[in-house]
Amino acid sequence: MTEAKVAIVTGASRGIGLGIAQAWGSRGDRVWITGRNAEPRAAAAAELGPDTMHIAGKAHDAEHQAEVIKSVLETFGRIDYLVNNVGTNPVFGPTLDLDIDLVRKILDINVISHFAWTQQVYRAWMAEHGGAIVNVSSVAALYPSPGLGVYGMSKAALSYLTAELAVELGPKVRVNPVAPAVVKTKFAEALWLGREDDVAAAYPAGRLGVPEDIGEAVSFLLSDKASWITGQTLVIDGGVTLVGRSG
């Protein structure tokens, strides 16, 4: 019997992160999820089943990262996969109107934390044993997105970082980004709530994304079936970037 693999998924209490954890857990493998808030995180872990562990903390906090990695290795003895899903976008509006400290916060959570998680997991396990990493970017990284300027900038930086790491960490570790368009989550409510049909009309697929769409794609990229794919941005957008733009 093949030994179960282990994945860490950050920001997995709900939305895309939970969808990713569900897709991976359904394969019979083990998942360790993180999240700031105890109640939704515990509810997510209960929904995911007995092979799921969880721990509280801010994803961009170095001590939290180290605690999670130590706990995963002590509990499961391995870290095969890392999904950097956590992200923030607390504002919508003109880029130059943003407070500089808020800009730093967005970059810290959306880029620096992903770098830090990757660095710690690589040093703790993957440098010797190999593995695969997926970073959750966005179609906002692909072109200017008025109202989402710094968010898009952070995701563009993340996509570049992912490609760079794919070159530097290969062949032992594969690193890929996924770039979703609008997915029906609480995080993206401002982009679709109350006008879903109008927004979805721009999508050739005829609907907005759901967390399961992203979860299945990430599960594929982590798996051995994607063993010859690294450094490639997988756009998951229902075709909207073929005909227009949607962040």
Which of the residues are catalytic? Answer: 151
Alpha-carbon distance of 36 to 61, in angstroms, equals: 11
Nearest to 122 by CA among 64, 177, 80: 80
**Alpha carbon distance 145, 201 (integer Å):** 19
Per-position DSSP letters for 105-161, written without gaps between them:
HHHIIIIIHHHHHHHHHIIIIIHHH-EEEEEE--GGGSS--TT-HHHHHHHHHHHHH
Measure the CA–CA gap between 109 and 69, rounded to whole angstroms.
18
In whole angstroms, give the CA distance from residue 241 to residue 227: 27
Strand partners, 6: 30
The answer to whether 124 touches 79, Cβ cutoff 8 Å, is yes
Q: What are phi and psi of 9, to 5 degrees?
A: -125, 115
CA–CA separation, 234 vs 227, rounded Å?
15
